[in-house]
Chain A
Amino acid sequence: MDRCVICKGKGLCGRPRCPILERFKAVETIPISDNLFGASPPSVFVGRKGYPDIFAGPLVPPNVGDSEARQYDDPKELLKIGIDEIIGLRSRLVRSYARMDVKDAKAPKNLFLLTSQELAMAEVPVDTEVWFTKPVDVNVAFDGTLMPMGPAGEIKSITLAENPKVPGKVDYLVSDTDVLAADSIRELHRHDISQHHITRIFSIGLLGRERRLVPTRWSITAIDDMVGKMLLDDIRDYPELRDIVLFTSEKFGNHFEILLVPRCFSFELIEIWHPNSVWSEKLWIGSDREGYGGKKGYSSLAGGYYAARTAAVEYLHAIRRQASVFIVREILPNYWAPLGVWVIREAVRDALAGRGMRFDSVGGALSEMQTRIRTPHDRWRDKMQLLDECRFQRTLMEFL
């Protein structure tokens, strides 16, 4: 069970299917048919099983129009509703797929891939009609990194019933096959293309020189990491924050305490999984961190680490300050189904959009945090390794 909280459905135990994720199967059903028409939010999914021989295709909710389709895939919209409603919506999102090789993205000839790419570039929902080789399987797929998805069916034929509306910057960078993916991502982010949209076109193999299909799960974290690093390049030159500030938020049983301390940039995330929360039967506490120089290697807290960091550095970038960031994420039993790392990114953004409480000392802020975190502080306090560095290391300025 200890391994589950780290793996979150990746398959580290060697079982063909994750027993925890199987529990959430078939929450809602949709009418079984071999044909469907609806507006894709827009959304595409690229699987990772069998890499580099993978399944990919658009997600389409049957009989859903343009105006309602957006909420099926927009993190900002999903944040406003309850966990049951999210699963309800997502389980009606049918995943159409076709077998592809990741390198097909280099010179796409496969009509299904071309259609998926065209759809992925769109900013608003696109009416789509799909015919399947046989009626779709009825179940819901859950995952620690990804949003839940509904039934899946293999594509026999697919058409877009309208022209996708594509932002100029997206069109421009997709047609540029000489620019590096990292530079395209920087450019798109600068022009306020949402991270969700960037991830979608990156995943379906529309960015960079050496284009590949990138499994959605990997794309999410890759974009989080790249956007985070890009913003940090600027942040390292910004002045330090003035006050010690504490922010808080709770979404779907994920409680967040975010402490910003005036100092050079560093980032630390503590995760406390309550007994009987999704991935763990007993209390599990993990932590990971990076100093001013940045992170080397992959985080032990996986995609959630990068999602939390992205949201935190976005805030620092917006206020043009640097700070040492400490995040405690406490996962309560009412986070009963995994919804994906967007929950972390959006919850941290939500917390940082609040006013925050100011403190004279780190000790004062810690006492305040302890009143809201359900787990006794002696269980998690010593995991905050960078905090002592922050509190006790004096600066040379103090001796001038």
Chain B
Amino acid sequence: MFKAIISAEALQDAIKAVSAVVDEARFEIAPEGLSARAVDPANAAMVSLELSNDAFTLFEGTEGEIGIDLSRFVEILGMADRSGEIELELDPDTHKLDISMSGLSYTLSLLDPSTMRKAPSVPALDLPAEIAVSGSVFKRMIKAAEMVSDHMSMGVHDGVFFMEATGDTDHVRLDLTGSDLIAIKPAEVRSLYSLDYLTDISKGVGGAGEIVIDLGRDLPVVIKFEPTSGDCKIKYVLAPRIESD
């Protein structure tokens, strides 16, 4: 059983963040709220969403699982007025999701969760450095790197958070320190990541105010943010590029 009412803005941001990395996802329904964990086909990037029941105006849910085609879902949610509300209800007989918003009511066919890729295990990572930057700084950093290369390094050296990208001909570096950052827990770290993934992630970040980045040495990066409030938590984990066979 699942029935919920939530602000359009909160749901749009949450689903957009998940759809940045995967086309379809399994959502777990529980009395505490809605959650999802999914990994991209190449097993390189993972996203997890936790939308607590406090994020909803109304939330009634018993344990269950539904599979959603995210590109369809994002399209439908795009029709909602951002300041309005969206009502979701699972029809137990047809196993379809009824979505109502600003006078529109959609019926979305669900995917059979048993045919979908299993939810990934989360790597237990010991990432010594943690950096908090504003969402706009994060996006600008990725945009700058994209102009010169397909991949970029992120790291911390002497307490300074840096990004560096080297292409065939051009090079870019960004050093952030002091007031550029919201917070930093320094450690000597550096890893290289594919910009294909980071660009997708930066799209998922949307207008988030604060992004927390956990880094290690040649280890996956963890990128966390809360799109609207503490009631919704998004976490990306992206495996690094390591240039040896």
Report A's interface with B, CB cutoff 8 A: 236-237, 263-265, 292-293, 361-363, 389, 391-400
- Among B115, B120, B242, the residue within 8 A (CB) of A396 is B120
Q: A362 vs B124: C-alpha distance in the bound complex, in angstroms?
A: 28
The interface bits of chain B over 216-245 (1 if a CB of A lies within 8 angstroms of the residue's CB, else 0) are 000110000000000000000101111111
- Flag the segment in B26-34, B41-49, B83-91 that touches A: B41-49
Known A363-B245, A389-B194: A395·B44 in contact at CB below 8 Å: yes
B243 touches A392 (CB 8 A): yes
Tally chain B residues at the interface, Cβ within 8 Å: 26
What are the 8 closest A-B residue pairs judged by CB atoms, nearest first?
A395-B43, A264-B41, A399-B123, A394-B239, A392-B241, A361-B245, A363-B245, A292-B41
B243 touches A396 (CB 8 A): no
Minimum CB–CB distance from A113 to chain B (whole Å) comes to 42
Q: A87 vs B180: C-alpha distance in the bound complex, in angstroms?
A: 71
Minimum CB–CB distance from A320 to chain B (whole Å) comes to 15
Known A361-B245, A363-B245, A399-B219: A393·B44 in contact at CB below 8 Å: yes
A396 touches B39 (CB 8 A): yes
Minimum CB–CB distance from A263 to chain B (whole Å) comes to 6
Minimum CB–CB distance from A260 to chain B (whole Å) comes to 15
B43 touches A397 (CB 8 A): yes
B115 touches A237 (CB 8 A): yes
Closest to B125 in A: A399
Known A361-B245, A362-B245, A389-B194: A395·B41 in contact at CB below 8 Å: no
B243 touches A399 (CB 8 A): no
- In the complex, which residues of chain B have a beta carbon less than 8 angstroms from the beta carbon of A389? 194, 196
- In the complex, which residues of chain A have a beta carbon less than 8 angstroms from the beta carbon of B42? 263-264, 292, 393, 395
B121 is an interface residue with CB less than 8 A from chain A: yes
Q: For window 32-75 of chain B, which residues contact chain A by CB distance below 8 Å? A: 39, 41-46
Minimum CB–CB distance from A236 to chain B (whole Å) comes to 7
- Can you list 16 A-B pairs with a CB-CB distance of less than 8 A? A263-B42, A264-B43, A265-B41, A362-B245, A389-B194, A392-B241, A393-B239, A394-B239, A394-B240, A394-B242, A396-B43, A396-B239, A397-B43, A399-B219, A399-B220, A400-B124
The interface bits of chain B over 191-230 (1 if a CB of A lies within 8 angstroms of the residue's CB, else 0) are 0001010000000000000000000000110000000000
Minimum CB–CB distance from B192 to chain A (whole Å) comes to 8
Closest to A366 in B: B245
- In the complex, which residues of chain A have a beta carbon less than 8 angstroms from the beta carbon of B237? 396
- In the complex, which residues of chain B have a beta carbon less than 8 angstroms from the beta carbon of A264? 41-43
Minimum CB–CB distance from A393 to chain B (whole Å) comes to 5
- Among B115, B121, B194, B240, the residue within 8 A (CB) of A400 is B121
Closest to B244 in A: A392
Q: A395 vs B220: C-alpha distance in the bound complex, in angstroms?
A: 9
A391 touches B41 (CB 8 A): no
Q: A319 vs B120: C-alpha distance in the bound complex, in angstroms?
A: 25
B242 touches A392 (CB 8 A): yes
B123 touches A393 (CB 8 A): no
Known A396-B120, A396-B220, A400-B121: A391·B245 in contact at CB below 8 Å: yes
Q: A392 vs B43: C-alpha distance in the bound complex, in angstroms?
A: 13
Q: A207 vs B226: C-alpha distance in the bound complex, in angstroms?
A: 53
- In the complex, which residues of chain B have a beta carbon less than 8 angstroms from the beta carbon of A395? 42-44, 239
Q: For window 112-132 of chain B, which residues contact chain A by CB distance below 8 Å? A: 115, 120-121, 123-125
- In the complex, which residues of chain A have a beta carbon less than 8 angstroms from the beta carbon of B45? 396
- In the complex, which residues of chain A have a beta carbon less than 8 angstroms from the beta carbon of B196? 389
Minimum CB–CB distance from A106 to chain B (whole Å) comes to 33
Minimum CB–CB distance from B161 to chain A (whole Å) comes to 22
Minimum CB–CB distance from A169 to chain B (whole Å) comes to 28
Minimum CB–CB distance from A385 to chain B (whole Å) comes to 8
- In the complex, which residues of chain A have a beta carbon less than 8 angstroms from the beta carbon of B41? 236, 264-265, 292
Minimum CB–CB distance from A163 to chain B (whole Å) comes to 46
Known A362-B245, A399-B239: A393·B125 in contact at CB below 8 Å: no
A394 touches B241 (CB 8 A): yes
- In the complex, which residues of chain A have a beta carbon less than 8 angstroms from the beta carbon of B124? 400
Minimum CB–CB distance from B191 to chain A (whole Å) comes to 10
Other than the known A389-B196, A396-B44, what 15 A-B pairs have Cβ atoms closer than 8 Å? A236-B41, A264-B41, A292-B41, A362-B245, A363-B245, A389-B194, A393-B239, A394-B242, A395-B42, A395-B43, A396-B43, A396-B239, A398-B239, A399-B219, A400-B124
Q: A236 vs B22: C-alpha distance in the bound complex, in angstroms?
A: 13
Q: A361 vs B43: C-alpha distance in the bound complex, in angstroms?
A: 19
* Residue from A237, A293, A389, A396 having most chain B Cβ neighbours under 10 A: A396
Closest to A240 in B: B43
Closest to B243 in A: A392
Known A389-B194, A400-B123: A394·B44 in contact at CB below 8 Å: yes
